[in-house]
Amino acid sequence: MNEKFLHFIWKHQLFEKKQLLSSDLQTIQIVAPGTANNDSGPDFSNAKIRIGDTLWIGQVEIHINGSDYLKHGHERDAAYANVILHVVYTDDLPPKRLPFPTLALKGLIPLHYIRNYEALLVSRTWIPCANQLPVLEDFALEHLFARLAGNRLERKTTFIAHALLQNNSDWEETFYQLLGRSLGMKVNGDTFYELTKRVPLKLLSRHRRSRLQLEALLLGTAGLLQSIVEDTYVIQLQREYQFLQHKYQLEPLTATQWKFARMRPANFPTIKIAQLAAIIENQSQLFSKVCSATSIQQLKQLFEAEVSDYWKQHYHCNKLSIKREKHVSGSTQELIIINTVIPVLFAYSLYVDEDKFRNKALYHLESTVAEDNKIIRQWESLGIKAKNAMQSQALLELKHEYCDQLKCEQCMIGMRKIQMNN
């Protein structure tokens, strides 16, 4: 038993409400439970409670025990001056100890609700309800997907807004940085993001006509050109970087900041940096073109790029490998669209207050194929298959923000599981 569970019970009124009595034997009728408060202060506001013959409008505070109100010092906090009802599981205070009635829910909550909730909390399966996943109707599942995908976009918007602020509201620069972060993926995303801040897009744009200089700027500042080599092309990169580093006062990262272990060679930072250089050479004003694109195909074309000849035969500097085409693959393009293009369009819609960009973001999300990763495959093994990127993003949000944090009482699936009587 915890307060989160009592919040859930109160919010959805999942207890016996006939002939309710307060601890001091006043009749209680719940007209409206109020609105949950996620900030400091009482737990629910604007509740409408009839106590005796009087209808009260105010706040409701929830605790496990009646004495918790005093333990938390709420009686000395002016924010609690408008509390009209104290809802607890067990009331261990004398009647009328508080200046408002107390309603104890012990004995009023169906026992199987409590058993199911406690079973979820102690579950050691991949998700708490994996052993018996409740089935949602198609309409309910679609609603859940839409809400979760929206939540995920809103959280990403917060990061984008911070990046935009640091870039003095320059959307092209911000998009470039987020593109780099996306290319770095989960393993090297933060380091890639730092690289793009140290080598701004405005600087790269001056050297767009030279792939050698673009690669020198990026690989050099990444700290990946510091070893002593006898490779002609790498020596050229090193010479270019020495000149450009001095010219622009660039501060390089260290090679140890990049992770290569347990990665597919095609995803090595060297290759991803070479791909970024190719994209920058091929496209200017990327953000503007993203805003203008009307289809997934048009968006994917923006990120079609092939690495220079040297990197077709190398994964590391000075280490020859079998020649392979290392273009930005279709799956990588789709991940860029999901993780960069769509969140940026969504954030831009809020910035300019134009729904057309929000609608375009959501349209692209539903038009992009679902991601294929370990988490999405695990959901599919449980019978929930993502039909598109909107649904796969929703399932990632559900796993990370609800299942992993045991927020079952806030999840539509978890709510259904708690109320199952079997």
Q: What residues form DSSP beta bridges with 44?
A: 36, 60
pLDDT one-digit tens code per residue, 346-383 = 999 999 999 999 999 999 999 999 999 999 999 999 99
Q: What percent of the chain has pLDDT over 90?
A: 94
Round to whole Å and give the CA distance between 103 and 150: 36
Mean pLDDT of the 27-32 span: 98
Based on its alpha-carbon atoms, the radius of gyration of the chain, rounded to whole angstroms, reads: 28
Which pLDDT score, from 0 to 100, does residue 319 have?
A: 87
Round to whole Å and give the CA distance between 211 and 308: 8
Q: Which residue has the tokens 């207890």?
A: 15
Record the pTM: 0.89
- Would the pLDDT of 122 be above 90? yes
**On the CB side of 340, how many CA atoms lie within 13 Å of its CA?**
30
Which pLDDT score, from 0 to 100, does residue 317 have?
A: 87
Range with lowest mean pLDDT among 75-89, 130-144, 200-214: 130-144
Residue type, 111: L
pLDDT grade, residue 151 (50/70/90)?
very high
Q: What residues form DSSP beta bridges with 314?
A: 320
pLDDT one-digit tens code per residue, 192-209 = 999 999 999 999 999 999
Which pLDDT score, from 0 to 100, does residue 318 have?
A: 80
pLDDT grade, residue 38 (50/70/90)?
confident
- Would the pLDDT of 15 be above 90? yes
What are the tokens at 376?
């999405």
Top pLDDT among 95 and 295 is at 295
Mean pLDDT, the chain, rounded, equals: 96
Mean pLDDT of the 183-189 span: 96
- Would the pLDDT of 395 be above 90? yes
Which pLDDT score, from 0 to 100, does residue 58 have?
A: 97
Residue type, 384: I
Top pLDDT among 229 and 303 is at 303
Which pLDDT score, from 0 to 100, does residue 45 have?
A: 97
What are the tokens at 264?
């597919």
What are the tokens at 56?
């009260």
pLDDT grade, residue 384 (50/70/90)?
very high
Range with lowest mean pLDDT among 131-135, 312-316, 402-406: 131-135
Q: 218: closest CA among 301, 274, 268, 174?
A: 274
Answer for the pair 307, 278: CB distance below 8 angstroms, yes or no.
Answer: yes
Q: What percent of the chain has pLDDT over 70?
A: 100
Give how far the C-alpha of residue 272 lies from the chain's centroid of Cα atoms, to the nearest Å.
23
Round to whole Å and give the CA distance between 410 and 417: 12
pLDDT one-digit tens code per residue, 297-328 = 999 999 999 999 999 999 998 888 999 989 99
Nearest 5°: the CA angle 271, 275, 278 is 140
- Would the pLDDT of 422 be above 80? no
Answer for the pair 340, 179: CB distance below 8 angstroms, yes or no.
Answer: yes
Which pLDDT score, from 0 to 100, does residue 154 have?
A: 95
What are the tokens at 243?
């000149």
Top pLDDT among 31 and 138 is at 31
pLDDT one-digit tens code per residue, 257-273 = 999 998 999 999 999 99
DSSP string computed for 172-201: HHHHHHHHHHHHHHHHHHHHHHHHHHHS-H
Which pLDDT score, from 0 to 100, does residue 230 have?
A: 81
